[in-house]
Amino acid sequence: MPGSGIRRTGTTVDVGIGVLETWLECSQVDADAEIGLWLCRTTAGVGSDSYPRQDSEAVFARCLLADVQAAGGIPAIPEQLLYGDPRHTADRVTRCGVGGERRGSGASDSRPRTVRVLEALAVNAVRTRDISALAALIRAALVWGADGRHTVRRGVETLVAAVAPDGGVLRDDEGGSGSGLPTAVQVAWALVEYRRPGFTRNMWRVA
């Protein structure tokens, strides 16, 4: 993963979100594009100007969190999550994080082991250039308050670096997986959660 350093605000994450917003504005109008734009504009502090809060926030939150709400919990042995689909794993961990359920069915706190699972899957996502999976995994780790972890911060750097000025991560020129609007939403979501800690938890309450 690239390692030039990352800032929660300013010229790194904010620029990445701005590039995503510009790319989404030029994309075809569909549900993913609308959700992505809402994410970017909410982070920039202009979401309420673009979308009336009472009419849209709950709708966007429900759409954004649909897969998370349908996901299961964390097993008693968190390492079992290594063998599932990484996006589904991210949704399961996110669900438990926002719901305050940070234990598996076992007696001990599963948080450190679960975060290590997310880190391992994130490293593999970088290796396979699966930006969509990487974004979902980093978002899940951030929901669990792991923003200080080295691997998580490098994951955020990777997402920012992947958002080229022309939306390069979305054009997927290098043959990685997960291009297009769904990837834009996942990347925007991860960057928003980094930029505004607790964002996903707040949306869970709204939804």
| Tokens found for residue 168 | 């390069």
The letter for the amino acid at 31 is A
The predicted model scores a pTM of 0.84
Residue 6 lies in a domain: no
- Cβ pair 32, 185 in contact under 8 A: yes
- Report the residue count for the chain: 207
Residue 33 lies in a domain: yes
Instruction: Say how many domains are in the chain.
Output: 1
- Domain range holding 115? 13-206
| CA–CA dist 180, 38 (Å, integer) | 17
Residue 2 lies in a domain: no
Q: Name 109's bridge partners.
A: 103
Give the DSSP H/E element, type plus range, for residue 47. Answer: helix 47-50
| CA–CA dist 194, 7 (Å, integer) | 10
- The yes-or-no verdict on residue 7 having pLDDT over 80 is no
Q: What percent of the chain has pLDDT over 70?
A: 76
| Model confidence pLDDT, tens digit, residues 42-98 | 876 544 344 444 456 788 888 889 999 888 888 888 999 999 999 999 999 999 989
Q: At what angle do helices 31-43 and 53-64 cross, to 10 degrees?
A: 110
pLDDT for the residue numbered 161 = 85
pLDDT for the residue numbered 55 = 52
Residue 62 lies in a domain: yes
| CA–CA dist 25, 6 (Å, integer) | 26
Residue 59 lies in a domain: yes
What is the pLDDT confidence band of residue 120, given thresholds at 50, 70 and 90? Answer: very high
Residue 7 lies in a domain: no
